[in-house]
Amino acid sequence: MLNSNRATTCHNDPLDDDVCVILVLGKFVGAMLINPALGMAYEMPEGTILVMWSRLLEHFNTSFSGIRYSVILTARAKVVADFQTP
């Protein structure tokens, strides 16, 4: 998935099967990743690669200025189940 210039509201990703890998690209200021349950905020500058349990942890990113892309790699639970079915 490719997100382009998008800040998000607090959510989790219930369809993700396992971890999610996020690659951040662009020239921007802001867009911290917030994990409310952990009480943590992460700077996410260009080139950041983050691995997280997006299904289990609510998260969102803050507003920003500039151009920002996030490439999100994950496996959806249904796809994984389909491969496990004989």
d(C-alpha 85, C-alpha 23), whole Å: 31
* pLDDT band of 45, cuts 50, 70, 90: very high
Class of the domain covering 2-84:
mainly beta
> Hey, where are the domains in the chain?
2-84
Confidence check: pLDDT of 76 > 60: yes
- pTM greater than 0.95 (yes/no): no
- The residues, any chain, with a CB within 8 Å of residue 81's CB and separated by 6 or more, are none
